[in-house]
């Protein structure tokens, strides 16, 4: 007997040349930063149209849960950057207790919140959540390795990215 390849999905070139991924720019803007409470709130406006929705799911588009986690991780990352005054960069190392509580369709404005719960020796942990209309749609505990910026150009790029997001640098004491 001969072994044959499974049939190719329709509408896809065979072989598939590359994965189709969008930029992971999840946060629309920083809203409020409280260094004393070690909290940050941000907005994440889900777009009306995106190639992500073509496959998730055809005819019933929903924001993938992994992108909800990414939104919480980015908000947590900006919190850590604000608390350390842009002196070190957080790298995602662990996600725990992630829960997706509801579906998020296109054109949905989301509020994303992060609170620092542990910090020290190159490590930080946050609790984060996403809300829509004051109702929780996702939550997670997220851990980061916090490392020195690898070079000044990367630090400058992060600063400029924060400016585009209207990160509240003044509230963080960053000139």
Which one of 50, 56, 62, 108 is the catalytic residue? 56
How many whole angstroms separate alpha carbon 102 and alpha carbon 120?
34
| DSSP helix/strand/coil, 10 | coil
| DSSP helix/strand/coil, 139 | strand
Q: In the chain, where do the E strands start and end?
A: 29-34, 39-45, 88-100, 109-120, 123-132, 135-148
Q: Provide the H-helix boundaries in the chain.
A: 51-55, 65-83, 152-164
Q: Is 56 a catalytic residue?
A: yes
Q: Just list the catalytic residues.
A: 56
């Amino acid at each position: 007997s001969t072994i044959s390849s499974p049939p190719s999905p329709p509408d896809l070139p065979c072989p598939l040349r590359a994965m189709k991924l969008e930029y992971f720019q999840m946060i629309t803007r920083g809203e409020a930063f409280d260094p004393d409470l070690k909290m940050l709130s941000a907005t994440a406006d889900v777009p009306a149209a995106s190639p992500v929705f073509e496959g998730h799911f055809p005819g019933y588009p929903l924001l993938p849960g992994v992108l909800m986690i990414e939104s919480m991780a980015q908000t947590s990352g900006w919190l850590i950057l604000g608390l350390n005054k842009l002196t070190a960069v957080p790298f995602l190392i662990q996600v725990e207790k992630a829960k997706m509580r509801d579906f998020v369709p296109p054109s949905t404005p989301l509020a994303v919140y992060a609170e620092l719960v542990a910090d020290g020796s190159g490590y930080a942990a946050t609790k984060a959540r996403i809300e829509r209309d004051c109702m929780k749609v996702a939550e997670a505990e997220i851990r980061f390795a916090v490392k020195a910026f690898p070079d000044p150009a990367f630090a400058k790029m992060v600063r400029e990215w924060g400016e585009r997001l209207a990160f509240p640098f003044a509230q963080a004491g960053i000139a």
